Chains A and B, each alone.
Chain A
Amino acid sequence: MGTIHIDTDILIIGGGAAGCFAAVEIYKKSPNCRVVIMEKAHIERSGCLAMGLNAINAYLHSGQTPESYVSYVEQEFEGVIRKDLVYTIAQGLNEAVKDVEEMGLPIEKNEDGTYKKRGKRSIRIFGERLKPILAEAVTKTNARVLNRVVATDFIYNGEHICGVFGYGIKDSKFYVVRAKAVIVATGGASGLYRPNNTGESRHLTWYCPWNAGTGYAMGIRAGAEMTGFESRFIALRVKDVHAPTGTIAVGVHSKQINARGEDYLELYYKHLGGNKCFTQHRLLATVEETKAGRGPCYLDTTTLNDADERRLKEDFLNMNPQIILLWASEGMNPRKKPVEIQGTEPFVVGGHCQAGYWIDKERRTTLKGLYAAGEVAGGAPKKYVSGTWVEARIAATTALEDIKGVFLEDIDSGLIQNEKTRVSAPLTKKSGISPLEVRERLQKIMDEYAGGISMNYALHEERLLEARRLLKGLKGRLKDIAAINNYNLVEALECIDRVDVARILVEHLIYRKETRWACYQTRLDYPKKEDSRWLTFVNSVYNAKTDEIRMIERPLSNEYLY
């Protein structure tokens, strides 16, 4: 395996929404700064924006303020959020959206040129090409993009992050990229839990199946402090194809109905707010209806008119073409039959919920020289794509400031050799455990013992302790993982990353002994929300040498206000 050495000023891991935006921001502020983006696929269509996007769900319409946005997120997340982070995001939302419009994103507007209101905090976009638009903006900067290079681990000398190791999927080269600052901007973690779809359709998932939580895993292994992993995200989606329900519910105002045709949110869940309930309660109500024998549940699209139906289909083509196929197989008409909905498997994502690096207001992680933005940055749920851009802007600005007077570090050759050996190990084994076997084992453990779909997402101590035990055992077996080619090797590395993320997740789920967020974190043994005890952040630090996970509580102190 040949080695490629690259030196840069700022290295961005992940060329997604946050990564692209960060590169553009650095160029605008400091055109001579050297920037490298390390991207697992091709920057033009990688990650969760590959299919496109039909709405931006974090935008301040006229009359709304950063303060009102923080208060909305605080309510939805039952009081446990980093207000300082959410506030700084809210402050920059509209400017970031404007910037991306300038790059070429079409946005639906009123006659006076303002963006048309789609929902309370949402605007309608024609974002089928959002990712290529962001990537094109990057080509106009000096950033060097390493496409199809997977980041494997940080280069960490015990004091600060000096760069990143990577592996080239196409060229089979080992990459050693030295940098003065590293911005981790990768996606969250999918594939931890057994999904709804299996076999041939196993990747017909809501969240991008190649977002393997690598950005989290690298930080975990280096000993970065992580927060909020127990705040899992479970999406309520169109059954089988996982198209977003918001496109129907917000876009064309369809109601959620149960198998009897009842407006179940209003009829049975008025105490949670009825049709105005939180996102998590829409899911909870749907799960409860099924348990009560009133499922399946649907979005009632049968009342749409011609124009609405057309609009709906266009919106989905911009974001989720699979549902168009589903309708086509039913005779092209969603008005014939309401759309069935269900919950997905749980994911660990910092863009919807708040799992991620524990960061300061300037987006510094607890490891010197490492900054986080977007899905892997913790504490700020509901940031969505526009919040991710704001975070990228803040992280880029901080990194640019911090690298002044910083020099590249010499990398110990032993460190390089160790990582090279770790990364290539699966290829050297003639026989062993396949990535497929590890994935299925992991997903089975998580599903059955850590609150997956088969358990209606519910958790309790005894099962979680069993998950802890089984995952430790699985981690022990990973040294026997074998890969037959490069593609398979990347799958193997993803498995290793997912197991590291899953172990942290389970520790967080064990630690929070209350029920804070319905379905995302429902403890059967502690069914109540206990504000007197648990209005606190649950954080963790992993020690790779001793294989111990230390839990840390961080109170909701004034430090995290705005």
Chain B
Amino acid sequence: MSIFIDENICNGCKGLPEARCERICPGNLCYRKENMKATIRDQSACWTCACCVKECPVQAIELRLPFQACSNGASLKARLKRDKTIWTVWDAGGHQEEFIIQAKYMKGNW
């Protein structure tokens, strides 16, 4: 598994023509099911780029590594702020680490 979408948290981006993860996935892999929950059509086609993880406004999506690549379990979530990205990583034991990284220089002229 490359991404895990928690259906209890996913609100399907109701009101939008398509879910945000669906809009952003560079592989065109995410889509909204009939129950308005987002899903991924093929886990094995996922690049684990985390674009959907970052884009989800309710943090319903976790990045994981496929079991073949890593069997120990760990997950990663992200929140986008206007000029920074906040990452939370959980290790196999459930310990948590947070990173706040500048992502955009707001005085841009363009």
Contact = CB atoms under 8 A, between A and B. Distances in A.
Interface of A: 24, 40-42, 44-47, 50-51, 99, 101-107, 126, 128-129, 133, 137, 140, 148, 169, 197-205, 208-210, 240-241, 313-314, 317-318, 321-322, 324-326, 328-332, 487, 490
13 contacts: A45-B24, A51-B50, A102-B108, A133-B104, A200-B43, A203-B27, A204-B2, A204-B48, A325-B65, A328-B74, A328-B92, A331-B91, A332-B95
B84 to A, nearest CB: 9
B58 to A, nearest CB: 18
B106 A104 contact: yes
Contacts of A313: 99
B45 interface: yes
Which 6 A-B residue pairs are closest in the complex by CB-CB distance?
Answer: A328-B74, A104-B108, A329-B72, A201-B66, A328-B91, A103-B110
B27 A148 contact: no
A148 B28 contact: yes
B104 A104 contact: yes
Contacts, number: 172
A532 B82 CA distance: 58
B48 A321 contact: yes
Interface residues of B, number: 52
Interface of B: 1-2, 23-28, 41, 43-51, 53, 55, 63-70, 72-76, 85, 87, 89-93, 95, 97, 99, 101-106, 108-110
Given A197-B68, A241-B69, A203 B91 contact: no
Contacts of B25: 41-42, 45
Given A128-B101, A314-B99, A324-B76, A102 B70 contact: no
Given A128-B101, A210-B27, 15 more contacts: A102-B110, A104-B105, A128-B103, A129-B104, A133-B108, A197-B69, A199-B44, A205-B47, A241-B69, A321-B76, A325-B63, A328-B75, A329-B65, A329-B74, A490-B28
Given A24-B110, A42-B23, A204-B69, A328 B105 contact: no
A240 B110 contact: no
Contacts of B49: 45, 50-51, 321
B85 A129 contact: yes
A322 B50 CA distance: 9
A200 B24 contact: no
Contacts of A330: 72
Contact of B99 (A24, A50, A317, A322): A317
Nearest to B80: A129
B44 A200 contact: yes
A199 B69 CA distance: 10
**Which of B1, B47, B93 has the most chain A CB atoms inside 10 A of its CB?**
B47
